[in-house]
């Protein structure tokens, strides 16, 4: 078990290194260069240009530049924003909490309501099931930005229950400000997870282990919890993990719709400003979060399915 964990963590670190390289290299290949951006249309003396190049290590070989960047990033130094002349880390520390709050809030909404609705739907065939399935049909068809605009129009503008702009300060104010964005972000994911949960539960309820449990005279509660739900969790965790990881990318859109100064918003403006250091830093953080979530899902599997643990020991 611990060997399996170690292997997962090692794999995660290697993957993080590879992605950091890809992120760094892809910006290197992108059109425009830092010095062109800095000087714009101004003509500058070769001495000044050389000084700037030296300061940013722009003349060093590519791999060496990557190495400088990596070492700095590992020390928490993401460089200085070329456009704003402020440390990138400072801008990140302002934006990251908003996005993190939004993602966690939305993830909780997705997992709790998706699993609850799916289980309910599987256990109560008939009207309730039909109602939930109709709702999820609509839900899966609504893109996040449409859901966001509709929620804004109804609960923000018309009913005036929630603020339409900004991230708020302090926990409860932030909760209120981020409710509509989190719901918008969760919308189709809840619908999808509900369907997966329902299918998975249905399958387990008709499966052999449930039949065995029923034949032993176990109560419906024990059969549903210990056998049907427990076994259905494996596909549920897979899909939930993918969706939570997907939320990290989804925040880019929602932050635009709701005017939130999160990482997605920061990424978008930095790309427009050709702010290399910031784009690199934000991309790296988003990708790292994605990888960490996936690793957590993998580790959860081993707790859910003992057969995976054996596979790790044998190899």
Partner 1 sequence: MTHLLEIDHLSVDLVTHRRYRKVLQDVSITVEKAEVVSLVGESGSGKSMTARSVLNLLPAQGKMSGNIAFEGQSLMDNTNKDWQRFRATKAAMIFQDPRASINPVHRIGDFLTEALVHNRDMDRHEALERAATILEQVGIDDAKRRLRQFPHELSGGMLQRVMIASVLLIEPQLILADEPTTALDVTTQADVIAILDDQRAQREMAMLFITHDLELAAAFSDRIAVMYAGYIVEVSTPAQLHARPLHPYTAALLRSRPLLHERTERLPQISGRPLSAFEAPPGCPFQDRCPYVQAQCSESLPPTQLINGSIVRCHRANELELASTASADAGTEGGQSRE
Q: Which residues bind partner 1 (CB under 8 A)?
A: 206, 208-209, 211-220, 222, 226-227, 230-231, 304-307, 310
In the complex with partner 1, the residue whose CB is nearer, 97 or 207, is 207
In the complex with partner 1, the residue whose CB is nearer, 273 or 305, is 305
Please spell the DSSP secondary structure of 273-314, one letter per residue.
HT-HHHHHHHHHHHHHHHHHHHHHHHHHHHHH-HHHHHHHHH
In the complex with partner 1, the residue whose CB is nearer, 105 or 229, is 229
- What is the smallest separation between the CB atom of 190 and partner 1, expressed in angstroms? 26
Q: Phi and psi for 184 in degrees, rounded to 5?
A: -60, -40
The two tokens of residue 181 are 């964005």
- What is the smallest separation between the CB atom of 118 and partner 1, expressed in angstroms? 19
- What is the smallest separation between the CB atom of 208 and partner 1, expressed in angstroms? 4
In the complex with partner 1, the residue whose CB is nearer, 94 or 303, is 303
Instruction: Give the 3-state secondary structure percentages of the chain, helix then strand then coil, rounded to 5.
Output: 80, 0, 20
In the complex with partner 1, the residue whose CB is nearer, 35 or 305, is 305
d(CA 186, CA 117): 14
Q: Which residues pair with 87 in a beta bridge?
A: 80
Give ∠ CA 154-103-255 in degrees, rounded to 5.
55
d(CA 44, CA 279): 26
In the complex with partner 1, the residue whose CB is nearer, 276 or 301, is 301
Nearest to 222 by CA among 230, 305, 194, 121: 230
Nearest to 188 by CA among 121, 257, 140, 248: 140
> Under 8 Å CB-to-CB from 138, ≥6 apart: which residues?
191
Determine whether 98 is exposed, middle or buried from the number of CB atoms within 10 Å of its CB (0-12, 13-18, 19+).
buried
In the complex with partner 1, the residue whose CB is nearer, 74 or 208, is 208
- What is the smallest separation between the CB atom of 310 and partner 1, expressed in angstroms? 6
- What is the smallest separation between the CB atom of 4 and partner 1, expressed in angstroms? 15
Which H or E run includes 173?
helix 171-205
In the complex with partner 1, the residue whose CB is nearer, 238 or 269, is 238
- What is the smallest separation between the CB atom of 216 and partner 1, expressed in angstroms? 4
- What is the smallest separation between the CB atom of 238 and partner 1, expressed in angstroms? 15
- What is the smallest separation between the CB atom of 217 and partner 1, expressed in angstroms? 3
d(CA 308, CA 250): 31
């Amino acid at each position: 078990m611990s060997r399996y964990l170690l292997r997962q963590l090692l794999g995660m670190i290697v993957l993080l290194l590879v992605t950091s390289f890809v992120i760094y290299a892809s910006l290197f290949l992108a059109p425009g260069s830092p010095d062109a951006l800095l000087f714009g249309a101004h003509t500058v003396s070769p001495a000044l240009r050389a000084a700037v190049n030296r300061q940013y290590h722009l003349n060093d070989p590519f791999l060496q530049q990557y190495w400088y960047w990596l070492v700095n990033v590992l020390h928490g130094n993401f460089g200085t924003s070329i456009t704003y002349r402020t440390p990138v880390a400072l801008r990140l520390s302002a934006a990251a909490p908003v996005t993190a709050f939004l993602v966690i809030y939305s993830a909780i909404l997705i997992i709790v309501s998706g699993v609850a609705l799916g289980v309910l739907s599987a256990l109560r065939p008939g009207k309730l099931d039909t109602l939930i399935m109709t709702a999820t049909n609509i839900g899966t068809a609504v893109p996040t930005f449409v859901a966001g605009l509709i929620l804004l129009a109804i609960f923000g503008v018309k009913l005036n229950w929630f603020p339409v702009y900004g991230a708020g300060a302090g926990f409860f104010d932030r909760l209120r400000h981020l409710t509509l964005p989190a719901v918008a972000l969760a919308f189709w994911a809840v619908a999808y997870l509900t369907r997966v949960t329902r299918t998975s539960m249905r399958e387990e309820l008709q499966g052999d282990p449930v039949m065995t449990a029923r034949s032993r005279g176990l109560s419906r509660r024990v059969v549903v919890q210990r056998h049907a739900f427990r076994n259905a969790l494996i596909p549920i965790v897979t899909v939930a993990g993918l969706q939570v990881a997907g939320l990290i990318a989804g925040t880019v859109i929602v932050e635009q719709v709701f005017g939130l100064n999160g990482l997605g918003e920061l990424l978008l403006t930095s790309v427009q400003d050709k702010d290399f250091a910031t784009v690199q830093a934000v991309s790296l953080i988003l990708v790292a979060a994605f990888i960490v979530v996936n690793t957590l899902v993998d580790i959860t599997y081993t707790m859910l399915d003992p057969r995976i643990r054996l596979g790790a020991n044998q190899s």
